[in-house]
Structure 1
Amino acid sequence: MRQTDPWVRHGVETDLLGKSTASAASRSLREDTLRDPRIEAIVRECLGWPGAPIRRHSDSGHIIHKIALLADLGLTVEEQPVRLIADRVLGHRSEEGALQSNLLIPESFGGSGEEGLGWATCDAPTLIYSLLRLGVVDSDVEAALDHALSLVRESGFPCRSSFPGFYGPGRRDEHCPYANLVLLKAMAFAPGHRDSWEAKRCVEAQLRHWENRGGKKIFMFGIGSTFAKLKYPLVWFDVLHVADVLSRFDAALDDPRFTEMLSVLPPKQTEGGGFTPESIYLPWKGWSWGQKKAPCPWVTYKVASLFKRVP
């Protein structure tokens, strides 16, 4: 694995090799990450949270996903600019404790068609995940997670919002595969929640969806050739994102359906051992994961990290 970027070296050393994230070497690599001009630009943009309204949750260029990227790259609130971003996010909360975003929900989905602060189950968990992974220890984050968990049902995590007339694209009695995924992602970094009833229900919903992939589709979330393509950042509903999240839960690791899902990945490895993106998000052209011609060190690390968690 070509360890060119500091975040790749940090991931390999602290995750794959088990070195301490509290070490001077780890701090130095995080500082190197922050000094990268591309990361500096992302940090400046994220300091403008909540920024432009979220119009679609697969928009990889929106700052909600850029904040999550900073967390995935190993940065923490020990770095002052990251602490400021976390404070911006915590500065927008609903009365129920949910973390708010700037949303624009079309009239066709029960919204007003105008932007405004609010929460939806497909964005609030991404903010919870980001804060937890960045190392925020705060009662407001706990309250935000508690609010999200209160909405989990036997069938998983549904599509809901603070906007009274809002309704998602699926049936009311279905879980939302994407909202369910990002809530699991948050629970994976919340102490004491990986084996909770809510986690088990959400894991089961995700695996049931995989199991039934050849039958009736959940609207917008079919599992076919597009789902199976390697893609980064972990923004939407695809195999690397789903497998990365599920690999953090014992309930999935012990399940043959997850083993079957994982079997999609090894055949994608190149002769040199790397993994090449098979689909890209256009806002990320110019990054190692924004091309489909050569193995990407970070995507290769993500796959290696995932399999390290698999017994």
Structure 2
Amino acid sequence: MGGAEVLAWVLASDEPAARWIVHAQVLAGRRVDGVDHAQLAEDARAAMLADPATQALLERLPDWEVAAELGGHQSPAFVPNLLGLLADMGVAAGDDERVERVLDAMLRHQLADGRFASIAKSRVTPVAAWASLLCDTHAITEVLQRLGRGADPRVARALQTTIGDLAATAQGRSWPCLPDEVRGFRGPGRKGDFCPQATLEALRAWSYVPPDERPAEVHDAARVSLRAWRARADEQPYMFGHGYRFKIVKWPTTWYDVHGVLDTLGRYPALWRGAGADPADRRALAELVACLVAYNMAPAGTVTPQSCYRGFEEYSFGQKKRPSPFATARLHQVLRRLDDLADEAAEIDVAALGSSKGGSGTARPPRGAR
């Protein structure tokens, strides 16, 4: 899953964020032939922070306390998503005052129930108000954890609130689509179903807590995400299928797809290894790994984006014409956590895997593989 040649190609690129990912995430802890990846990661991160491409993204950070027209929680302009992209590139706590201002503002707006709120207006809610769906508070809690605010008691309270929000859904105990208490507005998901996106966000937020300090319910909710994949031929949570669009990564990554599932569940190795692991969960993860590779990677291991959000055309992950060092590095980072499933994934015929409620599941060759 992490061939030396493709990693060498990324390291020879002019994208410091991609080089940082390889040194700090894919090759972390390795010292081969005198190569000090820790030092090289430091050098790449310094270059990333000075890179005009990073600075341009930092300039996009808006005032969190001014209502904006929200295009949806999947939008790259949704501030937690933009902060997540910057963190993917290597931006960390204390690196930039623009990030710190947003984090400070996020912490100032916690509702009485412990959820973090956002202010926005949309076609559905034209009057701006501070409110919170689970896909608000979970995403905010995740970036606060990720960018150095995990010790703040308000973050600890938000995390505990996620446990109180768990519900017995049709798929198992996990996070559903709950209404916000300010407006009573609820997202489009069916009341009895779990919300795949809110569940992944909560799991990512909890992934920054040491495993022995996580409630058992968190691991159980992770298993529900794998159940959704296994049961895809019989049921489909509203708006969250497992067909072609699920298997093709959309860049920059913001939403529920094969990358989102593996990027999240790869942080919970007890799902596939150890005495308590369920063989069905291990098989599901191996199938997802096989799909990520088959649908997104050329035989050489490079990734050419096949689906992109608008507004990132100047970034290698925002175009569809040539392999992207950043996208390649990110997917190898995700696969690195799941290295011990590589052999099982390689034996899986993705053409034989059905999609949601049927479908052939046949993979089209990724660009660059033809």
Q: What is the TM-score normalised by the length of structure 1? A: 0.89
Displacement after TM superposition at 1:264 (Å)? 0.5
* Number of the residue aligned with 1:71: 87
**Which of 278, 281, 284 is matched with 1:257 structurally?**
284
**Which of 156, 161, 181 is matched with 1:147 structurally?**
161
Could you tell which deviates more after superposition, 294-303 or 263-272? 263-272
| Counterpart residue type for residue 140 of structure 1 | R
* Number of the residue aligned with 2:109: 92
* Number of the residue aligned with 2:137: 124
The 1:269–1:25 alpha-carbon spacing in structure 2 relative to 1, beyond 3 Å, is closer
Could you tell which deviates more after superposition, 162-171 or 151-160? 162-171
- Within 1, Cα distance between the matches of 2:44 and 2:20? 6
* Number of the residue aligned with 2:3: none
* Number of the residue aligned with 2:321: 293
Displacement after TM superposition at 1:202 (Å)? 1.9
- Within 2, Cα distance between the matches of 1:244 and 1:185? 9
The 1:287–1:253 alpha-carbon spacing in structure 2 relative to 1, beyond 3 Å, is farther
Residue pair 2:114, 2:158 contacting (<8 A) in 1 also? yes
Displacement after TM superposition at 1:58 (Å)? 1.6
Could you tell which deviates more after superposition, 222-231 or 247-256? 247-256
Residue pair 1:90, 1:99 contacting (<8 A) in 2 also? yes
- The yes-or-no answer on 1:33 pairing with 2:41 is no
Trace 1:100-139 onto structure 2 (pairs within 5 A): 100-104=117-121, 107=124, 112-136=125-149, 137-139=151-153
- The yes-or-no answer on 1:218 pairing with 2:237 is yes
The 1:192–1:216 alpha-carbon spacing in structure 2 relative to 1, beyond 3 Å, is closer
Report runs of 4+ in structure 1 exceeding 4 Å deviation: 23-28
* Number of the residue aligned with 1:2: 10
Segments of structure 1 that go 5 or more residues without pairing to the other structure are none
Displacement after TM superposition at 1:156 (Å)? 0.8
| Counterpart residue type for residue 228 of structure 1 | K
**Which of 7, 13, 25 is matched with 1:15 structurally?**
25
Residue pair 1:231, 1:240 contacting (<8 A) in 2 also? no
Could you tell which deviates more after superposition, 40-49 or 7-16? 40-49
| 1:90-134 per-position Cα deviation (integer Å, ceiling 9, x unaligned) | 122222332211133655xxxx53221111101211111112111
The 1:38–1:88 alpha-carbon spacing in structure 2 relative to 1, beyond 3 Å, is farther
- Within 1, Cα distance between the matches of 2:213 and 2:45? 27
Residue pair 2:177, 2:190 contacting (<8 A) in 1 also? no
Aligned residues: 307
Segments of structure 2 that go 5 or more residues without pairing to the other structure are 1-8, 31-37, 274-280, 341-370
- Within 1, Cα distance between the matches of 2:199 and 2:246? 16
- The yes-or-no answer on 1:237 pairing with 2:256 is yes
> Which is higher, the Rg of structure 1 or of structure 2?
2
The 1:7–1:193 alpha-carbon spacing in structure 2 relative to 1, beyond 3 Å, is farther
Q: What is the TM-score normalised by the length of structure 2? A: 0.76
Q: Secondary structure at the residue paired with 1:85?
A: helix
* Number of the residue aligned with 2:331: 303
* Number of the residue aligned with 2:362: none
